[in-house]
Structure 1
Amino acid sequence: MQWLYNKTQYPVVAHSMYWSSNTTYARANGGSYDFLIDCHKALPLEERFWDDLLAESRDWGLFVYEQDYLNEEFEQIQKLLTDIDLGRQWLTQMGNGAAKNGLTIQYCMSYPRHMLQSLEIPVVTQARASHDNVPGTDNWKIGVTSLFAWAIGIAPFKDIFWTTSVQPGNTYKSSDPYTPLNAVVATLSTGPVGIGDMLGGTNKTLVMKSVNTDGLILKPSRPATSIDNRIRRMAWSDFEGPDGEVWSTYSDFGGKNKYGIILAADLQGNYTMTPCMAGYQGFPSSMVFQANNPNKIQPLTDPQPLTMSGCTMADFCLFYVSPVLTINGKQVLIQGELDKWVPMSPQRVTAINIADDITISLTGAAHETVYFWFNVDGKSSPVTCTLGAAGLATLSFSAGTCRGV
């Protein structure tokens, strides 16, 4: 059992593998709790065990309990493969213990059966959607697994990642040229953003693209997932879907205030996509623009689709979609906080009011500075907004001003 422990006031995550047949918690080994012992593994059989373990852990700051190696625990305890109720008992007892102590649970290396069992366990809020992180690999490809997790109300977690490509002395004896791709995928997942750098090896600029200055993750309204045509292409290579990863997500502020995000990477050749292909049915009339070129806007309609090309892992393509507004005779796009991966995040924008003016309510850290962009008749520029002591502000587009609270 491994506990990621610190002595600060910050909440911690505890990582647990599986229980050894030699565990001193087991009554058979002189402990106080009933365990099923099977070869090299053991399984707790009492909810009291979880109550006590997690209560003590809560006292020293535990916030999230991560149950790892669910697959190995399940496969290597034979009774879990023959007793129809034992697996449910194990996971629900764990969940009840977490609930009594105000904790949440992350599943790791879970099978679909574990994920589906979580429907009865509300404290399971997240699950790892990727394989283990290995620098320079395709660990970031979670577009399909995230779809499954999201469908059952679980936030998908892309395993940890580096924020700098070269980290001397690492056990992989490797580097990672895809740190920005891993960062954007982790943020768009809506799950945790796990920084796995060596001491002194963190790129603060890259990290801050995911969060506000308090460290709150700025997420979309749902995880980025593979578009339907990508899944069809994976099932049948002759289907005219993208040969590579094309995902979409959005931030939904109600009504016609919907803002899309499209990510393409490891894409072979070109791919042309309509709003319907991106899952944007029912969205208002919108424009699309590249994340790194907000002045280059174009309509996103069925007759005027988006064509993507040159979208590699090292140089991925990231596009944002904004509704077309008309304010005082001018065409206006709210482009948002363009120095973040999610420029229109519900964790930053709490309300949008559109009439003769556009007023936007913002939230964040006390006295945080936010650069909020608008495109007017094809030209983009920011409004600088300093949040007040309460971490709140109201931005006026027409005045180009921001009032902090």
Structure 2
Amino acid sequence: MVLAVVDAAGDAILLDLNVDLNGGAYSVLVNNKSWLNSGPYAFHFNDQWYSSSDGSLSLVASAVNSGEDILGVYKETALTWLADSNFVIVTTFKSYFPEPILIFSQYFLQELQNTSVGSNTEVVSSFPTFKIEPSNFHYYSYYNTFATPQIGKWGPGTSYTGGAQGGVPLVLFDPSLSTLVISPLDNFMVGIQTISAHLNQFSCGLQGKIASIPASFSHSTIITASTGVANAHHYWGGLLTKFYGKNPKNVNDDFTVKYLGYWTDNGAYYYYNTEIGKTYDQTMVDVYKYITSINLPVRYYQYDSWWYYKGNTKGLLLWEPMPSVFRDGIAALQKKMGDAPVVLHNRWFENDTYYYTKMGFPFVAEDDVGYAIPLTIDPFIYLMQKAKSWGLLVYEQDWLVDQFLRMESTQNNVHVAKNWMLNMDKAALTIGLNIQLCMPLPSHILQSAAMYSVTQIRASDDYQRQIYNKNQWAIGYTSILHHSLGVFPFKDCFWSSNETQSGCVQKDCREPNSVLETLSALLSTGPVGPADKIGFLDKGNLLSCTSSNGELLKPDVPAQTMDLAFSTGFTTGPTLFNLSSTYSGHFYEDEDGNSREVYWHYVLAADTLIPFSVQLQDLGEELNGKFLFFDYFDTNTQLEPFDIGHPLNIPPLFPDTSQVSFKYYILFPIVSSGYSLIGERDKFAVASRQRFGNIVHSADGTMKVDVFGQHGEQVTISLYYQPTSLIEQYTCSIPISGSSVLTCSTSPAHSCHC
């Protein structure tokens, strides 16, 4: 008998599941076509494999039920398996209606011992298991530190790499961009997806170093479907955060995401580097005085790993400022710096960390590698509570990959790594702090779906000058993942000036792509953290990102790789193209009183090598949409139409030795026969919600635009006047209320005023 799960439809896509109740075979169908066919059920314990393929795992019962949970109404098929006469494992399939969601779960009724196969690229439990068959699909996934994007063809011989270091989520898509997303739903730190060496098939389950599985333990995998690679990510990520009750973060949730900061992490001028003959105390006060002298509205400071005590492996001994660095402590220093709050860095715990050896907090210490990991919330509460009194806003947990992969206890136990992450989160919630995750594996990023204090995650490798690390700014791919899970991607620090900054300690002392670095940071919607030497901050470049009080004027969502980049790969072969877009949306009411949201689009292309033709639908616009666009950095740019008959044609962009070749386009909507808002031309996000509010056109031709800012701030606004096809500029002086209204009339003579 075949159980046909009710079709689940969403975004014009059908996701079906067929299950054979007699033998257990199953298949996943997308739009009525088979995409994935099952392999064997397989579990490793008592130092041997039990599999449905050789009869050592027997199907003894099946049942079909229905129910409802936080994700919706579902039908559930349960299959009961018997191994070694007395070990019972239950596997279940849930199919939701009307949503395109499938959940596969493994339930372990008894404790299973001796499960390890010794490798974290292998599984000890495989369900679901899928054959890797010839297809016309491409895959897309993330691997290793900072979730480096992976792309390729799906089928026998695929380049896909899974295991504890990555491969989650796995995204499969066809030329029409019908898309599946597959990932763990729980146990993110030890639940993996891999091409099993034992089965030679795609396997989802617990990783191969797990030593034992407790009784009543379960593990689940989720499969979702949508149209478009980015949209499929967003749908999947929304389900994960909904499952764990985490709301997507907004800019008001994190001061360091909302305002401009100054950073000292790897790549910064003052990373393990002070002014000549001065201490860090003196250097940071000098940085503050310099920033104040040029009226740059920096609102907080980040201090990296150079300020606290470290041990033999360079891990954390004591999270207190060394007197040689900050003689009187961080709180005293911040008093000299206008009481500016701080972001503070931390790294892995040393095996003889003070919190274990002196304070007695429970840790697992592994002396052979010199690492330790806390088992309770207590050390996090202790150090975060103390640091909050210094002005701490964001706890930056760095070196996540090393803390996890260099230890055995994080990988051979189903609870240790998860509890480490969740205890960190609970402590931050208790103390009232936010967390930035740094050097994450994809598993850490997925774990953030259940971490309510995580507001931001590093989306790039450590910053270096572009002559050595040309793609560090290119975070459009990883930003899809971060945004899907409701957190802000952080591009890392950068130099805002392209001048030579002599005395730097790392390779080249000049950043030839400072504008692109700054632009990428702003478009990320995450923290913007310049890190130049005293005397070298490019104020004009940085003020393109902010209002007069340092509030970041940013798009609504992070710039993310466009679906056009993914679909083009079916012509060129799977390729990572740096083509991303984002937008600012505003409420608009037309002359007839009809209201809708209208969008300003921002498109960034860099080192693409081939031309791209961007159509209305590539930006999610209706085919009757009418826009004008211009090249932001081209001083000779002309306004060009963007509509159904006029695409945005981006030329091939070729890099040279040190300079990235890029284009940044602004597309603004034509909503009236009179005035249309372009925005604030000297800001990268010309029409940010932080600057502009509702737009209303009246029947008499009058247009009103809400304008926000700081008391006394002069906001210069560009408008397009259709009867003359000219750009006009008007300046609003913001009153003490913080808001003004730009009013434009078309008769008897056209004019605007605030």
Q: TM-score, with normalisation over the residues of structure 2? A: 0.50
Q: Rate the CA distance shift 1:243–1:55 in 2: closer, same or farther, 3 A.
A: closer
Change (3 A) 1:253 1:396: same
CA contact (8 A) 1:360 1:394 kept: yes
Superposed displacement of residue 129, structure 1? 0.4
**CA distance in 2 between partners of 1:198 and 1:283 (Å):** 50
User: Which residue in 1 is equivalent to 2:689?
Assistant: 346
CA contact (8 A) 1:11 1:62 kept: yes
Q: Does 1:217 align with 2:555?
A: no
Alignment equivalent of 1:198, drawn from 520, 533, 537: 533
Deviation at 1:232, TM superposition (A): 4.0
Deviation at 1:294, TM superposition (A): 9.1
Return the match for 1:376 from 682, 707, 721.
721
Q: Does the Cα contact within 8 Å between 1:256 and 1:283 map onto a contact in 2?
A: no
Question: Relative to structure 1, is the Cα distance of residues 350 and 9 closer, same or farther in structure 2, using a 3 angstrom cutoff?
Answer: farther
**How far, CA to CA, are the matches of 1:191 and 1:382 in structure 2?**
30
Whether 2:372 is the aligned partner of 1:31: answer no
Of residues 421, 429, 444 in structure 2, which corresponds to 1:99?
429
CA drift of 1:231 comes to: 2.9
CA offset digits 1:224-280 (Å, max 9, x no partner): 01111213446x5625x9984211111112423211111111122432211222344
- What letter is aligned with 2:627? S
Q: Which whole-Å deviations, capped at 9, do the CAs of 1:75-94 have from their partners, x for residues lacking one?
A: 01111111111111111111
Please tell me the residue identity of whatever aligns with 1:270: P
Relative to structure 1, the CA distance from residue 194 to residue 211 in structure 2 (aligned partners, 3 Å threshold; closer, same or farther) is same
Alignment of 1:290-309 (within 5 A): 290-292=631-633, 296-309=638-651
Secondary structure at the counterpart of residue 326 of structure 1? coil
Asked whether the equivalents of residues 225 and 248 of structure 1 are also in contact (C-alpha less than 8 Å), the reply is: yes
Equivalent pair of 1:218/1:347 in contact (CA under 8 Å): yes
Shift of 1:25: 1.1
Cα displacement (A) at 1:284: 3.8
Q: Which of 299, 304, 317 pairs up with 2:663?
A: 317
Which string of whole-angstrom CA distances, capped at 9 and with x for unpartnered residues, describes residues 149-186 of structure 1? 11111111101110112211112231221000011110
SS for the counterpart of 1:325 is coil
Aligned counterpart for 2:475 among listed residues 117, 134, 142: 142
1:132 deviates by: 0.7
SS of the aligned residue for 1:97 comes to helix
294 and 334 in structure 1: CA distance in 2 versus 1, 3 angstrom threshold:
farther
Structure 1 counterpart of 2:676, which letter?
L
Measured in 1, the distance between the counterparts of 2:602 and 2:342 equals 31
The range that moved more, 306-315 or 183-192, is: 306-315
* In structure 2, distance between residues paired with 1:324 and 1:291: 18
Matched letter for residue 342 of structure 1:
A
**Counterpart position of 2:495:** 162
The partner residue of 2:739 within 392, 395, 402 is: 392
Q: Shift of the alpha carbon at 1:51?
A: 1.6
Letter in 1 for 2:706: S
User: Which has the higher mean CA deviation after the structures are superposed, 253-262 or 9-18?
Assistant: 253-262
Number of matched pairs: 395
Q: How does the TM-score come out when normalised to structure 1?
A: 0.92
Q: Which amino acid aligns with 1:245?
A: N
Is the 1:295–1:379 contact (alpha carbons within 8 Å) kept by the matching residues of 2? no
Distance 1:133 1:188, change over 3 A: same
| Deviation digits for residues 102-161 of structure 1 (CA, Å, limit 9, x no counterpart) | 111111111111111111111101101001101012101111000111111111110111
Structure 1 residue 32: deviation in Å?
Answer: 3.5
Counterpart amino acid of residue 665 in structure 2: F
How far the C-alpha of 1:281 sits from its partner, in A, is 4.8
Instruction: Indicate the SS of the match to 2:439.
Output: coil
Residue pair 1:287, 1:299 contacting (<8 A) in 2 also: yes
Name the SS for the 1:394 alignment partner. strand
What are the equivalent positions in structure 2 for 1:122-141 lying under 5 Å apart? 122-136=452-466, 137=469, 138-141=471-474
Q: CA deviation at 1:311?
A: 4.2
Q: Give 3-state SS (helix, strand or coil) of 2:672's partner.
A: strand
Residue aligning to 1:44: 374
1:144, 1:282 → 2: CA distance? Answer: 26
SS in 2 for 1:90: helix
Kept in 1, the 8 Å contact 2:425–2:435? The answer is: yes
Equivalent-residue separation in structure 2 for 1:84 and 1:353 (angstroms): 56
Unaligned runs of 5+ in 1: none
1:362 partnered with 2:704: no
Indicate which of 127, 149, 152 corresponds to 2:485: 152
2:417 aligned with 1:75: no
CA contact (8 A) 2:608 2:653 kept: yes
CA 1:151–1:321 in structure 2 vs 1: closer, same or farther (change >3 Å)? same
Residues 174-217 of structure 1: CA deviation (Å, up to 9, x unaligned): 12210000111100000001111112221111110011111111
Counterpart CA distance in 2 for 1:364 and 1:154 is 26
Instruction: Classify the secondary structure of the residue corresponding to 1:106.
Output: strand
Cα deviation digits, residues 349-384 of structure 1 (max 9, x gap):
132222232211122222111111001132112111
**Alpha-carbon distance in 2 for matches of 1:232, 1:145:** 18
CA distance in 2, matches of 1:243, 1:280: 24
Other structure's SS at 1:256 match: strand
> Hey, what does 1:271 align to over in structure 2?
612
Q: What does the per-residue CA deviation read over 1:315-346, in whole Å, with 9 as the maximum and x for residues that have no partner?
A: 5211111111225xx3x331100100001101
Letter in 2 for 1:57: A
- Secondary structure, counterpart of 1:250 in structure 2: strand
**C-alpha spacing 1:338/1:284, structure 2 compared with 1 (3 Å):** same
| 8 Å contact kept, 1:373–1:382 | yes
Secondary structure class of the residue paired with 2:616? coil
Q: Which residue of 2 aligns with 1:115?
A: 445
Shift of 1:397: 2.4
Which one has a bigger Cα radius of gyration?
Answer: 2
User: RMSD between aligned alpha carbons?
Assistant: 2.1
Distance apart, 1:70 and its partner CA: 0.5
Is the contact between residue 625 and residue 644 of structure 2 (CA under 8 Å) also seen in structure 1? no
